[in-house]
Amino acid sequence: MRFKSKSNKIVSPLFEGSGMDYGLLIASIALTVFGLIMVYDSSVVQAYKDFGDKYYYIKQQLIWVVLGYFFLTFFAFFNYENFRKLALPILAGSFLLLLAVLIPGLGTAAGGAHRWLKLGPVSIQPAEIMKLASVIFFAAIFEKKPRFAPFALVVLAASSIIGIFQRDLGSTVVFVLISLAMFIGSGANLGYIWLMLPVSAAGFLFFVLSSAYRKQRVLAFLDPFADPQGFSYHISQVLIALGSGGLLGLGLGQSRQKFEYIPEVTTDSIFAIVGEEFGFIGALVLIGLLTFLIYKGFKIAEAAPDRFGKLLALGLTIWLGSQTVVNLGAMVSLIPLTGVPLPFISYGGSALLVNLVAIGILLNISKNTNR
């Protein structure tokens, strides 16, 4: 069977839906490669001190990159429509992983949060998997119409586990932003949103006020140099790094702040090293590349051939975009510091893996876009 295109040329069905968005793929590869460079650069001192091997962190990250691109390739050719049937099992499995973090011997704590699950030699962060699972689930249940009851139940349960029990406010904020954006994007009655605003605000205040270190982070946000040797040490060192970079930066490998001045320098704070070594111009290029990737995601959502694909692409893009905004906003002190990694750039296997899975799903949807 053959079809005629607008130009009256004969088009074989073999080429129908073959418009994979290679711009999105190239952007993700460029970001991943740059992330590898920055992980190695920022981790050399810490890796040598802690493990006697300056290549320790980069070797770990390379393993996750290989796994990530394997899954990206798989999901780029895995029909996204199959996620309709898999949405509930994926969500249930993600909740089990979230709860497993609370089991002594399986969950591990660091930096005031209890968010990692240790499975043999591998540590994963179930909150990152929950973000992906929730996007798939909400796309499935919102396909026909917005449904408030299951939406509110999932948001309340997941945000309580992540925020209260795992003490991970940053991931809670990103999760809630993704959920609200998908609910609004599905055409929900905005009256529900107004109903949820006071509840969300009360929950946020509870999270902040119930923890001494969170209150200190808010105080540090209000005055980053209020206590440079105490509660505002982290953000003050980040701002010193960014200020030291100036317009063009100190040069690759020339960071001074990576010599254990900045906490979490390979993960949440890696953008500070980017700004220090590449300056304002280099940081702007990185932000531009991330913005381009997010723009591509929105274009795929706009052109998706069905409502499920539109909601799925929208949720994945909102997830990557909100995580980027929250991380960068914290680094330049527009919002309080949060434990949220910068997509594709920060060290961390589970975060990178699910980011690349998201790109694979977006590529799959783009193969069937209405061009």
Q: Which pair of structure tokens corresponds to residue 133? A: 């699972």
pTM of the model: 0.90
- Asked if pLDDT for residue 358 goes beyond 70, the answer is yes
> Rounded to whole angstroms, what are the CA distances from 139 to 133, 241, 299, 309?
10, 41, 17, 8
Please give the Cα distance from 127 to 158 (Å, whole number): 9
- Asked if pLDDT for residue 27 goes beyond 90, the answer is yes
Q: What are the tens digits of pLDDT across the range 130-142?
A: 999 999 999 999 9
pLDDT at 114: 66
pLDDT at 112: 56
CB 29 within 8 A of CB 316: no
Domain extent listing, the chain: 20-366
- Asked if pLDDT for residue 17 goes beyond 80, the answer is no
237-268 b/e with 16+ CB inside 10 Å = b?
bbbbbbebbeeebbeeeebebbeebbebbbbb
Please give the Cα distance from 54 to 60 (Å, whole number): 12
pLDDT category at 110 given cuts 50, 70, 90 is low
3-state SS, residue 110:
strand
What's the angle, vertex CA 199, arms to CA 138 and CA 327, rounded to 5?
Answer: 65
Instruction: Give DSSP secondary structure letters for 169-181.
Output: HHHHHHHHHHHHH
Across the range 22-35, mean pLDDT stands at 96
> Rounded to whole angstroms, what are the CA distances from 138 to 53, 86, 126, 165?
44, 12, 18, 23
Q: 118's torsion region: left (phi>0), alpha (psi -120 to 50) or beta? A: beta
Across the range 50-75, mean pLDDT stands at 95
Please give the Cα distance from 247 to 29 (Å, whole number): 26
pLDDT category at 102 given cuts 50, 70, 90 is confident
Please give the Cα distance from 232 to 219 (Å, whole number): 8
Strand locations in the chain, DSSP E? 3-4, 10-11, 107-110, 113-119, 122-124
pLDDT category at 209 given cuts 50, 70, 90 is confident
- Please state, as a whole number, how many other Cβ atoms lie within 10 Å of the Cβ of residue 76: 20
Name the residue type at position 249.
Answer: G
CB 362 within 8 A of CB 16: no
Please give the Cα distance from 177 to 172 (Å, whole number): 9
Q: What are the tens digits of pLDDT across the range 278-325?
A: 999 999 999 999 999 999 999 999 999 899 999 999 999 999 999 999
Over pLDDT 70: what percentage of the chain?
A: 93
pLDDT category at 331 given cuts 50, 70, 90 is very high
